[in-house]
Amino acid sequence: MKCIVTAGPTYEELDDVRRLTNFSTGALGTELAGFLAARGHEVVLLRGHYATCRLEPPGPPAQVFTTGADLRRRLRRLAEKGADALFHAAAVGDFKFGKIWSPMDGGELREIRLSKISTREGVILAELRPAAKIIVELRGWFPEAYLAGWKYELEGRRAEAVARGREQLAENQTDACVVNGRAYGKGFGLVTRREACEHLRDKPALFAALLARAEVKAQKR
């Protein structure tokens, strides 16, 4: 199969030297890419610039993405060549910076547009705007591929985390959603459209389950 794996965080620029990013090592996606390549599949790994995991799976070197817009461009280019499966494990930022202001005497705000915002500005106010969701567009770019997204949940209980995974499936028409994080607890939950959430104790079990389902869909094409 031709597989694409995204891993690690995006970042968004405050100015030319400061950035907003996520805590993501990129390890899970990188290890998944290695698992797929070791089983003979053609794998393209897209990994965030700030991912701390630098393992290199067999095959072509990882492509490095920066911002959410950069990751979107790379995925759209890959979509032109097609793929059998896309495992979207990247930690794409939910916000990007809008306008930046410095409070002035009297309570007025002065907009700042500088290549590097100096600490001499004192307190600054930064507008955070919702970033466009890449996962929303994946089905349109890869209409026949097996698509798996991720839902990393910190708040609530396992049942609530799984329910949010099901919401992601319904909203984005993906084939699976991997749920993990503090709300889910140890291991991973594999949520699909027609099955109950399958609990998988560790990464190897998760990778094997994802691959098995992707192969079934590829065989039906």
- Return averaged pLDDT per consecutive 10 residues of the chain, 221 residues in all: 98 94 95 97 97 90 96 98 97 95 87 90 92 96 98 95 96 97 97 92 98 94 77
Q: What would the two tokens of residue 148 be?
A: 């798996």
pLDDT of residue 101: 94
pLDDT of residue 107: 79
pLDDT of residue 104: 86
Contact 179, 162 (CB under 8 A): yes
Q: Domains in the chain, please, with CATH?
A: 2-94+132-220 (3.40.50.10300), 96-130 (no CATH)
pLDDT of residue 38: 96
- Dist CA 13 CA 48 (whole Å): 14
pLDDT of residue 147: 98
